[in-house]
């Protein structure tokens, strides 16, 4: 009898939980896509390309020079003197070190600027989410990546993008 009561109780809880879940309005948002598809993100990307174009070209040139030296060393090593081979190997090592240094410096600068953009965008993202939740009367808004499957009607990413664009 006690087991029967427990089964009835568990069934009742499951039934009421399912009906409450059915009444919930759930939404999904791909926050990364929303943020990086906004007008502000596009402007930020364009400004970064412009600002760091020279450094990027320098890094690429050093990388290409290193590849050229490596190919020459590989192809012509047999016909080079020991001194030539040692000098070219030294030049190649210098090019590799310079490339790593410049690439690391550029990557660090880009990451810092990107993080600044993300922190500057945080209040706008929060505001856009709060407005969306109120307007759509959502009970739950979760990241798109957390769902294995969801009806497209549950995806509010485009609405978040629109709100972010209006806030800028």
Helix (H) or strand (E) holding 142: strand 140-143
Specify the pLDDT at position 13. Answer: 55
What's the CA dihedral at 142, 147, 152, 154 to 10 degrees? Answer: -30
Q: If pLDDT is split at 50, 70 and 90, which confidence band does 168 have? A: confident
Residue that has been written with the tokens 């410096």 in this structure: 105
- CATH: 3.30.910.20, 3.30.2390.10, 3.50.50.60, 1.10.3210.10. Which one for 23-167? 3.30.910.20
User: What 8-state DSSP symbol labels residue 37?
Assistant: T
Supply the pTM of this predicted model. Answer: 0.69
Asked if pLDDT for residue 154 goes beyond 90, the answer is yes
Q: If pLDDT is split at 50, 70 and 90, which confidence band does 9 have? A: very low
Asked if pLDDT for residue 1 goes beyond 80, the answer is no
Q: Record the tokens describing residue 132, joined without a space.
A: 């969306």
Specify the pLDDT at position 103. Answer: 97
Q: Quick: pLDDT tens for 107-131.
A: 999 999 999 999 999 999 999 999 9
Domain positions in the chain: 23-167
Specify the pLDDT at position 4. Answer: 47
Helix (H) or strand (E) holding 29: strand 26-29
Q: What angle do CA 18, 20, 25 make, to 5 degrees?
A: 110
Average pLDDT over residues 26-30: 94
Q: Quick: pLDDT tens for 29-70.
A: 999 999 999 999 999 999 999 999 999 999 999 999 999 999
Helix (H) or strand (E) holding 2: helix 2-23
Specify the pLDDT at position 43. Answer: 96
Q: What is the DSSP string of 80-141?
A: S-HHHHHHHHHHHHHHHHHHHHHHHHHHHHHHHHHHHHHHHHHHHHHHHHHHHHHHHT-SEE
**What is the percent of the chain with per-residue pLDDT over 70, rounded to a whole number?**
87
Specify the pLDDT at position 21. Answer: 52
Side-chain-side CA neighbours of residue 83 (13 Å): 0
């Amino acid at each position: 009898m006690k087991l029967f009561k427990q089964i009835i109780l568990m069934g009742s809880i499951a039934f009421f939980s399912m009906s409450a879940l059915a009444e919930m309005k759930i939404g999904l948002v791909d926050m990364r896509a929303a943020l990086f598809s906004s007008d502000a993100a596009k402007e930020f990307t364009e400004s970064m390309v412009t600002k760091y174009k020279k450094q990027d070209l320098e890094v690429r040139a050093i990388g290409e020079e290193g590849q050229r030296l490596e190919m020459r060393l590989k192809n012509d090593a047999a016909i080079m003197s020991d001194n030539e081979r040692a000098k070219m190997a030294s030049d190649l090592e210098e090019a590799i070190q310079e490339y790593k240094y410049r690439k690391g410096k550029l990557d660090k600068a880009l990451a810092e600027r990107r993080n600044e953009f993300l922190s500057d965008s945080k209040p706008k993202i929060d505001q856009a989410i709060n407005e969306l939740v109120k307007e759509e009367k959502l009970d739950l808004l979760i990241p798109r990546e957390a769902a294995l499957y969801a009806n497209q009607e549950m995806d509010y990413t485009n609405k978040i993008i629109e709100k972010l664009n209006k806030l800028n």
